[in-house]
A = this chain, B = another copy of it.
Amino acid sequence: QGEAKSIEEILKEKGVITVEEYQEAVTQKPDVAYVPGKGFTAATADGKYKLHIGGYAQLLYKYTDVDSNAADDKSDFNIRRFKLQIAGNVVSKDFGYKFQGDMKNGFTTEDAFINYKFAAPLTVQVGQFKPAQARQELTSAAKQLFPERSLANDTFNLGRDLGVQAAGSFAGKIVEYRLGLFNGNGPNTANPDDRHMVTGRLDLNPLGAYAMDEAGWTSDKPLLNIGGSFAWNKIGGGDVGSGFSKDNDVMDVALNLDDAATAAAFTANYGSDLTWLLWTANVNAAWMGATLAGEYYALNADPSLGSDWDADGYYVQAGYQVIPQTLELAARYSAVESTDTQASAKFDKAETQFGVNYYFAKHAAKVQADYTLVSDDWNADKDDNIVRLQAQFYY
């Protein structure tokens, strides 16, 4: 709210009211405010109860030059995301909650969780949220270097799930961890059995706390993050159609475990169950407006019937803020592939991307543009060119 003084401060400095009276008057004032980028906030004077209502939106224009004579090129306006966020704390500052829904087309429930912070090394969180996985997936869609996450992330991400997680940090966030147990059947989906997905992640920030934000905000000290994650699940025919493969294209498409598949088809193809392990590793760095990030994704699927199946992917990306806090240039290369027999036809694809970001007020108001060259080596005639222009704001 700037440097201007409140009526209470002025009266205190003039001696009209005493310091004690000032304290009393300020305590009595309800804490209601609008903060750019954070939305509307209302809280009790003691801060033990707080309610925040806001969100962010992304409006996208996308032109796809389809590399095929049979198909039309596409020129498409799109409400890419329109998030409603409700967050705060109740009873105590340590007892937090968050809700997030996407209103871009109807209403999709995303985050809905509560957590209790026992101490810095231990916060327990219950509900629906993103399990430990790749750093890019865990970084908000509003804080990406490009208009969207990378091809590798979109191919291997798990999205959200329902469960419980312990997380925390040590030594001023030099070490961070997350360990969780989830239904393993995707967002907004009940668990049809008593098997759970287990996920974990470890982050090392040797140069100090490193927030999950891909933009190259000028920092006077260098930042480094080395992280890794794993997710493990054993699924059976009863899980098919439950939505566990919703965000993970590999399981959804390549392994044919999508919602349209049947339990019978699963059993015929893979036997009584299938164990999969997804792991990721990343290195992120930032200094003086420059950012560098690389992340590797590997999935192994081990069915009780038939042989193993492997797939992997990665991205490397770099950004530099030519005009600090204002103009940023970015480049990215991402590739996914699988040479295994069972589903090899599905994957041997890469994307090369060049982007420009213009920030009016950091992520609270920005425009992002990029060009993507898609190289689908398996389907040789599908080398599409895509141009995107996206406006984002927090309300």
Binds B, one of A96-104, A252-260, A310-318, A344-352: A96-104
| B contact residues around A31 at 8 Å (CB) | 34
Binds B, one of A46-54, A328-336, A370-378: A46-54
| B contact residues around A306 at 8 Å (CB) | none
Q: Indicate which residue in B1, B11, B36, B108 contacts A30 across the interface (CB closer than 8 Å).
A: B1
Closest B residue to A63 by beta carbon equals B194
Q: Indicate which residue in B2, B183, B394 contacts A27 across the interface (CB closer than 8 Å).
A: B2
Q: Indicate which residue in B5, B42, B72, B191 contacts A193 across the interface (CB closer than 8 Å).
A: B72
Interface flag for A283 (CB, 8 Å): no
With A114-B59, A127-B59, A194-B74 as contacts: A25 and B39 at CB distance below 8 Å: no
Chain A 217-251 interface 0/1 with B at a Cβ cutoff of 8 Å (1 = within): 00000000000000000000010000000000000
User: Are B51 and A54 in touch, CB under 8 angstroms?
Assistant: yes
User: Are B34 and A190 in touch, CB under 8 angstroms?
Assistant: no
CA distance A330 to B260 in the complex (A): 44
| B contact residues around A82 at 8 Å (CB) | 99, 109, 112
Closest B residue to A107 by beta carbon equals B107
Interface flag for A10 (CB, 8 Å): yes
User: Are B78 and A112 in touch, CB under 8 angstroms?
Assistant: no
CA distance A391 to B95 in the complex (A): 12
User: Are B24 and A75 in touch, CB under 8 angstroms?
Assistant: no
With A34-B51, A77-B182 as contacts: A365 and B113 at CB distance below 8 Å: no
| B contact residues around A108 at 8 Å (CB) | 106
Chain A 37-72 interface 0/1 with B at a Cβ cutoff of 8 Å (1 = within): 001101111001111011001010101000000001
The interface on chain A, measured as residues whose beta carbon lies within 8 A of the other chain's beta carbons, has a size of 92
User: Are A27 and B4 in touch, CB under 8 angstroms?
Assistant: yes
User: Are B391 and A114 in touch, CB under 8 angstroms?
Assistant: yes
Smallest CB separation, A315 vs chain B (Å): 25
Query: Would you mind naming 23 contact pairs between A and B with Cβ atoms under 8 Å apart?
Result: A2-B28, A5-B24, A6-B28, A14-B21, A30-B33, A32-B34, A36-B48, A40-B51, A59-B114, A72-B194, A73-B193, A74-B194, A75-B191, A75-B195, A76-B162, A77-B127, A78-B190, A79-B188, A91-B365, A95-B393, A99-B395, A106-B107, A106-B188
A interface vs B, CB < 8 Å? 1-2, 4-8, 10-11, 14, 16-17, 21, 24-25, 27-34, 36, 39-40, 42-45, 48-51, 53-54, 57, 59, 61, 63, 72-79, 82, 86, 88, 90-91, 95, 97, 99, 101, 103-109, 112-114, 126-128, 162-164, 182-183, 188, 190-196, 238, 360-361, 364-365, 391, 393-395
In the A-B complex, the 10 residue pairs with the closest CB atoms:
A34-B42, A72-B193, A107-B107, A77-B162, A7-B25, A75-B194, A4-B28, A105-B188, A4-B27, A76-B191
